[in-house]
Structure 1
Amino acid sequence: MIVRRLLPVLLLLVGGCAATPPRTQTPPPATPAPMTVTPATAPATPADDNLNAVAWTQTAIEHDLIYLQTYRDAQARLLAALKDPAWDALPRDDRVVPAKGLKPAVILDIDETALDNSPYQARLVKNGGEYNEADWAAWCKEEKARALPGAVEFTRFAARHGIAVIYISNRAKDLNGPTLANLRKVGFPVAGPEAFLGLDTFVEGCEQIGTEKGCRRQLVSRKYRVLMQFGDQLGDFVTVLANNPAGRERAVAPYRDWIGTRWFVLPNPTYGSWEPALFNNDWSAPRETRRRSKMDALRTE
């Protein structure tokens, strides 16, 4: 920011070696010119768009209260769902075996549903970087992610009542060990290998597309009646065939009545499939191009 000021000028007339200098009249201070900002002084790079999202996630008490509210409400409904033999939280396409008579289970996503990875996001904000697999893997291997509020209490309640707790995650295969260790460190019940279905899980007769979780939900459906699902992304609940705003709306439309009863959606403003849906899923586009697409998606009325 450039500030232009007209400083008072003091004219001091000193005559030779005279003992007493002649008096002069000092002009009054001039009124400062208004402060101006020229295009040259504007920031060359926009501030990090994720700063507020990460700051809210880490510091806002409202964030923690939403998680507590969600998991406590689910816990209050869980036993009623257990007693209802017709109750099932899997979408129609994922229920490949009739649920009647199967053991009960709940399904949880891990990142931003069970474990809090906001320190990794904070590192990206402070360093001016973007997500990359190497840094993400390094963070996961630290096994420092904290449990999100209410999640441990809910899963332990489910386990005490004979309900299997199954975690479905899109973390890469080499992160399976650190992920399970992190879950156990913070108190989550992990019954065994079948309780964790990572990205590398092979499901016979089902072709996994990208990171979609449909095949793994189908695998769960062969053994369990699913009472509830928890996640921070729409893909944690149902397969999204077209990841754009209209396609996402179509995917969830048949199941809106399940929100808050069978499906429990948690907030994640820092990242997710909602973001690339705004720029045609083109992560190869320059950062500023992606940012401009997100700006274009904003409504002003």
Structure 2
Amino acid sequence: MSFKLLPVALASVLVLAGCASGPATAPKHVDTSTMAKEEAAAPKGRAADDNLNAVAWSQHAVEHDLIYTEVFRNAREKLLAAKKDPKWDALAHDDRAAHKDLKGLKPAIVLDIDETVLDNSPYQARLVRSGGEFNEADWAAWCKEAIARPLPGALELTKFAADHGIAVIYISNRAKDLDTATLSNLRTAGFPVAGPDSFLGLGTFVEDCEQVGTEKGCRRQRVASQYRVLMQFGDQIGDFVNVLGNNAEGRAKAIAPYGDWFGQRWFVLPNPTYGSWEPALFDNDYTAPREERRQKKIDSLRIN
């Protein structure tokens, strides 16, 4: 952050004005205790929202758009080579375990939706302006507006895949009952959508697989039965692999076997506004008061 210097002339005026006003102390006849009471009673501005910079960066920083463009372009350049390699697969070992034979499987790419292909920063901006927090009712209402815009590079990548006979599958933690609105939004934005099965939302039934919380493993296993997955895209590590413990140790352990896959089979997009990384900082306890959660995030900061 940089600060602009005042023009010399203006600075001089301010200095002279300061000299003319005398020392910065209250005149003897003023009751300073009354002043203090009045200052304390004065209405304060709305508390600063910790998400303001993150949302503003997502909406206005050219660096944000460049990162998305770079990631999707990098993937597009590698996609056809992955398709030609019959042994190439981008599903985590656990997700592929029940369907190890890749022969005859159609090629596909798997993408998360929110903050991966669709930009929901307007919803986050509404929360910043209102001072509110995420809630399911407002989120569902936003999704039903079906006006989220495509993120830079996402259209080019998905269209390229579809044009080369590669299925485009969206696995999202949007509730399954938002499928109509979500598919409408994807189509309106220009994304290739082959049919309803292209969207596997939260609550999608997968035979012989019990979904735990919002984990996507069961849905990835469903994809594994039909497709050889060439690449996966997401803004959270849970978009790629199951995370058994959402803490620093558990998250590191989940991705440890796949270090070489990032930038080759797995492509991660930036999301500073929300994600599983955040509750990991306050013991995943959303029932705790907002200020308590905030303090734990502050306490987590490294200062050296």
Q: Structure 2-normalised TM-score?
A: 0.86
The residue aligned with 2:146 is 143
Structure 1 residue 172, shift from structure 2 partner: 1.2
1:255 aligns with 2:258: yes
Equivalent runs, 1:290-301 vs 2, <5 Å: 290-301=293-304
1:59 aligns with 2:50: no
Secondary structure in structure 1 of the residue aligned to 2:173: coil
Q: 2:276 aligns with which of 270, 273, 281?
A: 273
- More off after superposition, 72-81 vs 166-175: 166-175
Asked if the contact 2:183/2:196 (under 8 Å) is kept, the reply is: no
1:174 aligns with 2:174: no
2 CA distance for matches of 1:30 and 1:256?
Answer: 65
Secondary structure in structure 1 of the residue aligned to 2:109: strand
The residue aligned with 1:6 is none
User: Aligned partner of 2:77: which letter?
Assistant: A
2 CA distance for matches of 1:90 and 1:296?
Answer: 36
The residue aligned with 1:14 is none
The residue aligned with 2:8 is none
Asked if the contact 2:240/2:266 (under 8 Å) is kept, the reply is: yes
The two structures, once aligned, show a CA RMSD in angstroms of: 2.0
2 CA distance for matches of 1:46 and 1:52?
Answer: 14
Q: 1:185 aligns with which of 180, 184, 188?
A: 188
The residue aligned with 2:24 is 33
Structure 1 residues 241-290: Cα deviation after superposition (integer angstroms, max 9, x where no partner):
00011110100111111000000000000000000000010001000000
Structure 1 residue 200, shift from structure 2 partner: 1.9
Q: 2:159 aligns with which of 156, 172, 189?
A: 156
The residue aligned with 1:16 is none
The residue aligned with 2:7 is none
Secondary structure in structure 2 of the residue aligned to 1:169: strand
Give the gaps of 5 or more residues in structure 2. Answer: 1-18, 27-34
Secondary structure in structure 2 of the residue aligned to 1:129: coil
Secondary structure in structure 1 of the residue aligned to 2:202: coil
2 CA distance for matches of 1:209 and 1:256?
Answer: 25
Asked if the contact 2:108/2:231 (under 8 Å) is kept, the reply is: yes
The residue aligned with 2:121 is 118
Structure 1 residues 123-166: Cα deviation after superposition (integer angstroms, max 9, x where no partner):
00000000011111111111110000010110010011110000
Give the gaps of 5 or more residues in structure 1. Answer: 1-27
2 CA distance for matches of 1:30 and 1:118?
Answer: 47
1:225 aligns with 2:228: yes
2 CA distance for matches of 1:58 and 1:297?
Answer: 27
- More off after superposition, 91-100 vs 182-191: 91-100
Equivalent runs, 1:70-149 vs 2, <5 Å: 70-95=71-96, 96-98=98-100, 99-149=102-152
Bigger radius of gyration: 1
2 CA distance for matches of 1:31 and 1:42?
Answer: 28
User: Aligned partner of 1:224: which letter?
Assistant: Y
- Residues 246 and 42 (structure 1), Cα distance of their counterparts in 2 relative to 1, 3 Å cut: farther
Q: Structure 1-normalised TM-score?
A: 0.87
1 CA distance for matches of 2:44 and 2:198?
Answer: 49
- Residues 298 and 34 (structure 1), Cα distance of their counterparts in 2 relative to 1, 3 Å cut: farther
Asked if the contact 2:176/2:200 (under 8 Å) is kept, the reply is: no
Asked if the contact 2:109/2:229 (under 8 Å) is kept, the reply is: yes
Asked if the contact 2:176/2:202 (under 8 Å) is kept, the reply is: yes
1 CA distance for matches of 2:186 and 2:171?
Answer: 13
Secondary structure in structure 1 of the residue aligned to 2:264: coil
Quote the sequence identity (%): 70
Structure 1 residue 174, shift from structure 2 partner: 2.2
The residue aligned with 1:206 is 209
Asked if the contact 2:117/2:151 (under 8 Å) is kept, the reply is: yes
2 CA distance for matches of 1:57 and 1:133?
Answer: 22
Secondary structure in structure 2 of the residue aligned to 1:170: strand
The residue aligned with 1:19 is none
1:50 aligns with 2:51: yes
Structure 1 residue 194, shift from structure 2 partner: 1.6
Give aligned pairs, total: 274
